[in-house]
Structure 1
């Protein structure tokens, strides 16, 4: 029926998300460390009913996050998708990646979002600051600062050219983390040492 539509539009229709919505995505376990409650609080502060949020993952905090979304009147705008095998397509359907984690290593989900050409609004912590250049590839916020996350998300949903600029920056920057670049650097180090 919708064969003529691009993949991102088909995915949004499948998830009952308006085509003109500003769509946030998080990928990861729903636990205390991932801190998704901050994004729910940020959405409540935005008061923009055309911002939607999809969470891909499962975990012990799922029911707590659903309850928070319900109390905030946001259940219509938030989709708890569970474990997914179509994350690549979900990234394509999204407008912005968000991750307010308390701690990370070098986050694979941020790297996937960058490679999927998305701006990223993430916590200002070790690992994340190596990937996201503040005000260029997205925004870095303190993990518990729902106001900061709301402001950053609001800036992006009101400014398509800024989203596009940050997306292009991330598309270029992620190439620095390609396995071949790391391999070349390691070979250089070993050649000098041995």
Structure 2
């Protein structure tokens, strides 16, 4: 049986973004392998009939544990003859391509979900991650990008094959899953969360870390004292969670800002809220915004790569500068005060997101995979 190997630093990346592609290969008769740092969700991978390889990856490129991870990948590739290796995430992708070079495993595809070097990034990101990508490009047969900035950068790399840089519409989205638009369910969930029909609910769905920059929104809520009916919901967990909760308490905003933790009912929550907001410092192509667009919600997002591939300023939402509290407040109040505008922008978002439907993305990826298999 022919074998395919997916590599990512952590198992959640595979489960969050690549299940449709695992099923694509499984339905074609391939044996699908996954190499990642396994955790408490590995049973979900096994339920997909995946052969799992626990690799001692660290997300930090400085960690010595990645030497062990490289040796584990080399061993896996020598023990299995893979028809194709598809690598993801910066560290996993670099080590995966290096292991493939050492074992002469070909072809190798790489999907960049958002380079860690970008316009305005710290110099160290360019020194480390740009150098890693430039070196590993020589061991890459196909380079897949999902935003315009990354696509233009990738075209400058020297790949093992010529004309092998591709642009696809993200990892795909099951648009119908998020197109609920049910007033009864909306009202019921709002009541469960403690809100009325007249309240304006903002939502961020994201890991709570420095990059996602929730603080920009919290600081904005702080200055919107005259808008007591505007509330901010945070879905997600992460390393900055306790720090952020303490910041909310310190600013006496616990009545206005609610932490909902990890949730599996994102489509239901999107149906219940009014405005989606994401103020990241850096993005690749944020799935959370895509989901909110599919749910017909207007978007407020920082004007960074990835966000601006999805949000057309003044059309389906507003783009605001990073850490610009005044601009963020202005965007929120514009939408909070105008139900018609929210509806119109939500409809525009639904129209734009059709290009990112999983069926279309699977067709795009099928064309790419067919070039290498």
Query: Would the TM-score normalized by the shorter structure come out above 0.5?
Result: yes
Deviation at 1:181, TM superposition (A): 2.9
Q: Map 1:30-179; keep pairs closer than 5 Å.
A: 30-47=208-225, 48-179=227-358
**2:184 paired with 1:6:** yes
Distance 2:186 2:323 in 1: 31
The higher relative CO (CA closer than 8 Å, separation ≥ 6) is in 1
User: Which is greater in Rg?
Assistant: 2
Unmatched tracts of structure 1, length 5 or more: none
In 2 relative to 1, CA 85–189 (structure 1 residues): closer, same or farther, beyond 3 Å?
closer
Q: Secondary structure at the match of 1:26?
A: strand
Q: Residue deviations 1:13-65, cap 9 Å, x none?
A: 11112221000011011110000011011111121110011100001211222
Distance 1:176 1:143 in 2: 27
Q: Secondary structure at the match of 1:156?
A: helix
Unmatched tracts of structure 2, length 5 or more: 1-182
With structure 2 as the length reference, what TM-score do the two structures score?
0.48
What is the RMSD of the two structures over their aligned residues, measured on CA atoms?
1.9
Distance 1:147 1:18 in 2: 27
Distance 1:99 1:176 in 2: 21
Deviation at 1:180, TM superposition (A): 3.1
Distance 2:207 2:326 in 1: 23
Distance 1:54 1:43 in 2: 11
Q: Secondary structure at the match of 2:301?
A: strand
In 2 relative to 1, CA 67–189 (structure 1 residues): closer, same or farther, beyond 3 Å?
closer
Q: Residue deviations 1:58-77, cap 9 Å, x none?
A: 01211222222223222111
Deviation at 1:112, TM superposition (A): 0.4
User: May I ask how many residue pairs the two structures share in their alignment?
Assistant: 188
Distance 1:72 1:13 in 2: 26
Deviation at 1:79, TM superposition (A): 0.9
